[in-house]
Amino acid sequence: MIPSFRHLIARCALPLCLLGNAVHATDYPVTPQQIAPDSWVVIADTGYFTPANGGFLVNTAFIASDDGVLVIGSGPSRAFGEQYRRVIEATTGKPVRELIITHKHPDHFLGNQAFHDVPIRADDKTSSMLRSEADGLAQNLYRLVGERMQGTEPLLPNAPLPTGVREHGRQRLEFIALSGHTQSDIAVFDHRSGVLYAIDQVFNRRTPTMPNASIPAWLAALERLEALPFKVLVPGHGAISHDARPIRDTRAYLQWLDRTFDDAARRGLSATEVMALPIAPEFADWAEARDEWRRSVGFLYGAYEQAALPALAP
Ligand SMILES: [Zn+2]
């Protein structure tokens, strides 16, 4: 019989415990970084989902007010969410009041169980997609991450997320509806502190993930984000920035990917051949460059091949 994950944690007095041949950290490395008054981010690993990192590869953020804390993203697992909430409440000295889910990807919402007693907000489209897709997304993370997902179940958003501006303590938060990374993405811009929580619309030296991408919509979203007068940029993956360079880099990558797929389809290359093409030097040292490129071929290249087919005579 395999002991439960909680059981294993309870028996471990040291930060690391041995399970068979694998070493599992009992805690995620959740270290808040203050980026403005009452505002923090937690910067994650930039790799891919593995048992070793427990799926912790997405940045999350939280913003305090006198009434309590607004949290952006709940992370990849129940264990992460529970640890994260303890860290938030210890850092701010305030209770969590609400959770914002920016888009449907599982590393951003599978910690929701730890926030079951507060409103979990998402826009209507994301909420609707999660009703049909959340179980499959969770199963995929179980497959990739394994043991540290123990006890994680998808808890769906339970409250609306109106777009537009609202006051939150010292902050003036604007919830901006975008799309492109997925069919529906929310960015949060704090007009007072100048922090832009772009989350997965922007990747910083970590190769963008494309399972639900629309490149034209994503490029339009980046234009809109770059026009905002931000002072601090919080990407979904990679370090924060104080300028628009990660936005420009994400745009350059999407444009290069689009050109390369288009050219390859016109030349009749197979998906396998496209997977082996060289990565442009300016993107080659980004985290997960080759693996994410291969995955992008799987997600998107078929549409380029279709578009390159000669039109059939009526
Ligand atoms: Zn995402």
Residue type, 127: S
Question: How far is the C-alpha of 198 from the C-alpha of 225, rounded, in Å?
Answer: 8
What is the whole-number distance in angstroms between the Cα of residue 279 and the centre of ligand 1?
22
What is the structure's pLDDT at 37? 94
What is the whole-number distance in angstroms between the Cα of residue 310 and the centre of ligand 1?
34
Contact criterion met (CB below 8 Å) for 41 and 35? yes
What is the whole-number distance in angstroms between the Cα of residue 53 and the centre of ligand 1?
17
Residue 255: which H helix or E strand, with range? helix 245-266
Domain-located, residue 155: yes
Domain-located, residue 125: yes
Question: Which of 170, 155, 79, 84 is closest to 121 using CA atoms?
Answer: 155
pLDDT band at 173 (very low <50, low <70, confident <90, very high): very high
Q: Is the dihedral of CA 153, 159, 165, 171 positive or negative?
A: negative
pLDDT in tens, 125-164: 999 999 999 988 888 888 888 888 889 999 999 999 999 9
What is the whole-number distance in angstroms between the Cα of residue 59 and the centre of ligand 1?
11
Domain-located, residue 7: no
Say which CATH number the domain at 205 has: 3.60.15.10
What is the whole-number distance in angstroms between the Cα of residue 43 and the centre of ligand 1?
15
pLDDT in tens, 209-263: 999 999 999 999 999 999 999 999 999 999 999 999 999 999 999 999 999 999 9
pLDDT in tens, 47-91: 888 888 888 889 999 999 999 999 999 999 999 999 999 999 999
Domain-located, residue 8: no
What is the whole-number distance in angstroms between the Cα of residue 33 and the centre of ligand 1?
21
Question: Which of 272, 279, 301, 121 is closest to 213 using CA atoms?
Answer: 301
What is the whole-number distance in angstroms between the Cα of residue 237 and the centre of ligand 1?
9
What is the whole-number distance in angstroms between the Cα of residue 104 and the centre of ligand 1?
7
What is the whole-number distance in angstroms between the Cα of residue 66 and the centre of ligand 1?
31
- Report the first-to-last Cα separation within the chain, whole angstroms: 63
Domain of 124? 15-308
What is the whole-number distance in angstroms between the Cα of residue 91 and the centre of ligand 1?
26
What is the structure's pLDDT at 124? 97
What is the structure's pLDDT at 26? 63
Question: Which of 25, 292, 3 is closest to 145 using CA atoms?
Answer: 25
**Does the structure show a pLDDT above 50 at 6?**
no
Burial class of 201 by CB neighbour count within 10 A (0 to 12, 13 to 18, 19+) = buried
How many degrees, rounded to 5, is the angle at CA 85 between CA 20 and CA 205? 75
What is the whole-number distance in angstroms between the Cα of residue 139 and the centre of ligand 1?
16
What is the whole-number distance in angstroms between the Cα of residue 202 and the centre of ligand 1?
10
What is the whole-number distance in angstroms between the Cα of residue 2 and the centre of ligand 1?
32
What is the whole-number distance in angstroms between the Cα of residue 200 and the centre of ligand 1?
5
Domain-located, residue 167: yes
Number of domains within the chain: 1
Q: Which residue's structure tokens are 């007072």?
A: 192
What is the whole-number distance in angstroms between the Cα of residue 4 and the centre of ligand 1?
29
pLDDT band at 170 (very low <50, low <70, confident <90, very high): confident
309 CB-near residues (< 8 Å, 6+ apart)? none
